[in-house]
Amino acid sequence: MSFLYPSFLLALLATAIPVILHLVQLRRAKRVQFSNVRFIQASQEVTASQRKLKQLLILLCRILFLIFLVLAFAQPFIPGSVTNQASDNEVTIIVDNSYSMQNLHADQDLSLLAYTIDKARSVIGMFPPATVYNVLDNSSYTSNRFASAADAADNLNHLDFKASSSGSLRGAGAGHFFWFSDFQKNQFNPSDINTLPEKAQLHLIPIASAGTSNIFIDTVYLEDAFVRSGSESVLHAQIYNSGREVAEDVPVKLLINSQQVAAMSLDLQPQQATTATIKFRVGTGDLNLAALVVEDYPVEFDNTYYFTLTPSRGVRIVEIADKDVVDLKELYEKEPLFKYTRFNPENVDYALVGNSDVLLLNGLREFNSGLATTATNFVKDGGTVIVVPAPGTEMNGYDIFFNQVTIAARTVNPAASNKTELLAPASDNPFFSGIFATYDKKMQMPSAARTLQWARASDDILKYRGNSPFLSRFERGKGQVYLMAAPLQEDYTTLVNHALLLPLMYKMAITGYRQEHPLAYTLTTETVRVPVAQTTKGEGIYKLQKDSVIYIPEQQIRGGSLYFTIPPDMSEAGIYSLTLQEKPVSSIAFNYDNRESYLEQYTPEELRSMIGNDLPNVHVYDYGDAFSVKNEFEKKYFGVKLWKYCLILCLFFLMAEIALIRFL
């Protein structure tokens, strides 16, 4: 046993005072008068015995009262079992206030965050008055430092939910770190604590939730990439039920420009996604703000999925073709969806090529190095190149392009009359989805000769009888290349007069459409790209605004597009307005990372297993209230404080003395 203030033990000399008083009091004689001498002897024996016992008991109570009073001021304690290497003058409270903490506590009708704040405040009171406190949460990019426990506790009371972020131990120094969290399996990474200094002591305090059931919108996508004003569109949404029971009649509604345009209810099977299909019409506006909403409790942050709907601008097609090839202008201009432009090889607007979606190289006899480089860069930037060969062996320079995009293709020289029938397309090939009203594998197919052949494509769309490819697709980075084995001339293929030509050319062009405005981004997206008009230097900076809050992201303009990173303190989902010089440029939807929606958490046993024995300065506590955590911590580091027990015994002996004087 040790004493916090051993100098107070000198006051034990005061126990001599009641002993001296007792001895002095025994020397005093007391006269007792009796009415009958027969009672003198008996009275003397009884009174002296009782008086002696009473005085001894009173003396003992007084001595013990003084002893325990002195011990209470000296504050005795049993030293802790752990040698405290951390600084007791600095304590860091880490509170996980991510949206998963909306979940209810296992034993109380409180959110995990409300429960955590209450218990974190009680832990603060364990340390001496001179302790400096740091409070960290998901929105803290510098720690909030407080010189008193009262200020730290007040800061905890003002915490609200924020999107999860990594780096809770950023800038960690010495001292004790108390980390209150639900420790989600999708969010917590043991490597986060590897940078903890050896002299720091980290205390992981898991908070038990009532359950892991949650309903959230996992994915939203359009059936058709093209959104047409006034026309019906189809939206598919995958809604996930992470619970272990069927969720019946879950309401789902679609809002466009704050107006409800569709509603339905779904039965969601446990631990899987259910696809909701919603039909709707888009208004005539340039940009429509939309939200898909489900109803779920108590975790509500992921009940809404925000996105934007922009009427499609059309597929921009640039064809470079020799004069004697089949004219595809009429084919594409029949459909308003396509924005078609044709150039001769000698007169190409390369700037227009760079801004297009599809580059169609039709029957070129001369494929110069400049055009090959342009086409290669076009593919690297995410464009689609369609190569239709020239007749015979009149294909100079094709190998330059094929080498640059790493396609093993070569020219051949068969007779034009040597045509081979094509096989019917595979019924499960997604390229032909929506093309055939009814599929017939015995359908009459066109025939074609072959002036180009290759191997190892990403997808063989059409094949000759014998399984050699006629039309194939090659994925190359963000872009793709289509190769056709025969020229689009009647001498080489009957496809030019076949009903299959139009859907083939349309589908290749549609797959090359580069959507300028994705439906939505997540708040964890590294870089966001937005097409904007070219601005002169110094014209201004782009800002993101939601309600009255304005963010200025790091930004750069390249090739007619704005590239920016999401500011680290922008943590709320919703639709943000992109502005330049206080004027709106566009609207962008941001949603929470759906990893936060999976509520399954690590147990204390699993945490200990992951951390292992390599980190002796990391301690994992069992589920429990802060009182048990506080007691366990104090026993380990501060020992068992005995002054309270001394004070109780002090009061006990004081009351015993009073009782002896009054009743004996």
Listed range (209-213, 559-563, 624-628) with the worst mean pLDDT? 624-628
Size (the chain), residues = 664
Count CA within 13 A, CB hemisphere, residue 605. Answer: 0
158, 121 contact by CB (below 8 A): no
Give residue 48's pLDDT: 67
Give residue 40's pLDDT: 56
Q: Which residue has the higher pLDDT, 475 or 313?
A: 475
101, 111 contact by CB (below 8 A): yes
Q: Which residue has the higher pLDDT, 26 or 492?
A: 492
Q: Residue 45 carries which side chain, given as an amino acid letter? A: E
The distance in angstroms from the start CA to the end CA of the chain is: 37
Q: What is the pLDDT of residues 357-402, one digit of tens each?
A: 999 999 898 888 889 999 999 999 889 999 999 887 666 778 899 9
Listed range (36-50, 56-70, 116-130) with the worst mean pLDDT? 36-50
Give residue 171's pLDDT: 53
- One of 3.40.50.880, 3.55.40.10, 1.10.3860.10, 3.30.499.10 is the CATH number of 315-511, namely 3.40.50.880
Q: How far apart are CA 415 and CA 425, in angstroms?
A: 25
Mean pLDDT of the chain: 86
392, 435 contact by CB (below 8 A): no
Q: How far apart are CA 294 and CA 215, in angstroms?
A: 8
- How far, in Å, are 13, 62, 72, 661 from residue 17 at the CA level? 8, 10, 19, 18
Give residue 523's pLDDT: 93
Q: How far apart are CA 225 and CA 313, in angstroms?
A: 11
Q: How far apart are CA 275 and CA 223, in angstroms?
A: 12
Q: Which tokens in the block code for residue 294?
A: 């489900």
Cα torsion 446, 450, 454, 455 to 10°: value is 50
Closest CA to 270 of 289, 297, 288, 250: 250
Q: How confident is the model at residue 111 (pLDDT cuts 50, 70, 90)?
A: very high
Q: How confident is the model at residue 255 (pLDDT cuts 50, 70, 90)?
A: very high
SS3 115: helix
Give residue 569's pLDDT: 87
Query: To 10 degrees, what angle do helices 643-663 and 40-74 make?
Result: 160
Give residue 388's pLDDT: 94
Q: Which tokens in the block code for residue 101?
A: 């903490």
Q: How far apart are CA 335 and CA 502, in angstroms?
A: 11
Give residue 220's pLDDT: 96
CB neighbours of residue 528 within 10 Å: 19
Question: Pairing relation of β-strands 175-181 and 200-206?
Answer: parallel
Q: What is the mean pLDDT of residues 403-426?
A: 85
Q: What is the mean pLDDT of residues 400-420?
A: 84
Q: Starting from the edge strand earliest in sequence, which strands make up the sheet with 549-551, in order? A: 521-522, 583-591, 574-580, 542-546, 549-551
Q: Which tokens in the block code for residue 537?
A: 């230097």
Q: What is the pLDDT of residues 183-195, one digit of tens each?
A: 999 888 887 787 7
CB neighbours of residue 340 within 10 Å: 21
Closest CA to 91 of 124, 50, 47: 124
Give residue 628's pLDDT: 61
185 CB-near residues (< 8 Å, 6+ apart) = 598, 600, 601, 602
Alpha helices in 243-396 (DSSP H): 329-333, 350-354, 369-380
Q: What is the pLDDT of residues 3-23, one digit of tens each?
A: 878 888 888 888 888 888 877
Residue 352 backbone phi and psi in degrees, to 5: -70, -35
Count CA within 13 A, CB hemisphere, residue 579. Answer: 16
CA 558-563-564 angle, to 5 degrees, is 145
65, 651 contact by CB (below 8 A): no
Q: Is the pLDDT of residue 522 over 90?
A: yes
Q: How far apart are CA 364 and CA 139, in angstroms?
A: 59
| Domain ranges (residues) in the chain | 2-79+642-663, 90-211+599-638, 215-307, 315-511, 521-591
Question: Pairing relation of β-strands 358-362 and 175-181?
Answer: unpaired
Q: What is the mean pLDDT of residues 54-83?
A: 82
Per DSSP (E only), the strands in 73-214 are: 76-78, 90-95, 132-136, 144-146, 175-181, 200-206
- How far, in Å, are 115, 447, 459, 593 from residue 424 at the CA level? 65, 11, 15, 43
Give residue 356's pLDDT: 93
Closest CA to 617 of 182, 143, 174, 187: 174
Q: Which residue has the higher pLDDT, 393 or 86?
A: 393
CATH 3.90.79.10 correct for 90-211+599-638: no
46 CB-near residues (< 8 Å, 6+ apart) = none
Q: How far apart are CA 251 and CA 295, in angstroms?
A: 6
**The architecture CATH gives domain 521-591:** Sandwich (2.60)
Give residue 385's pLDDT: 97
Give residue 303's pLDDT: 96
Q: Is the pLDDT of residue 26 over 70?
A: no
The sign of the torsion formed by the CA atoms of 268, 273, 276, 282 equals positive
Q: How far apart are CA 460 and CA 576, in angstroms?
A: 42
Instruction: Quickly list DSSP for 35-60.
Output: S-GGGHHHHHHHHHHHHHHHHHHHHH
Q: How confident is the model at residue 169 (pLDDT cuts 50, 70, 90)?
A: low
Q: How far apart are CA 581 and CA 550, in angstroms?
A: 13
Q: How confident is the model at residue 274 (pLDDT cuts 50, 70, 90)?
A: very high
Give residue 473's pLDDT: 96
Q: Matching CATH topology for 215-307 and 315-511?
A: no
Q: Which tokens in the block code for residue 154?
A: 């007040």
**The architecture CATH gives domain 215-307:** Sandwich (2.60)
Q: How confident is the model at residue 170 (pLDDT cuts 50, 70, 90)?
A: low
Instruction: Quickly list DSSP for 297-339.
Output: SS--TTSEEEEEE-----EEEEEEE-TTSPP-HHHHHTSTTEE
**Residue 633's Cα: distance from chain center in Å?**
32
Q: What is the mean pLDDT of residues 517-534?
A: 88
350, 341 contact by CB (below 8 A): no
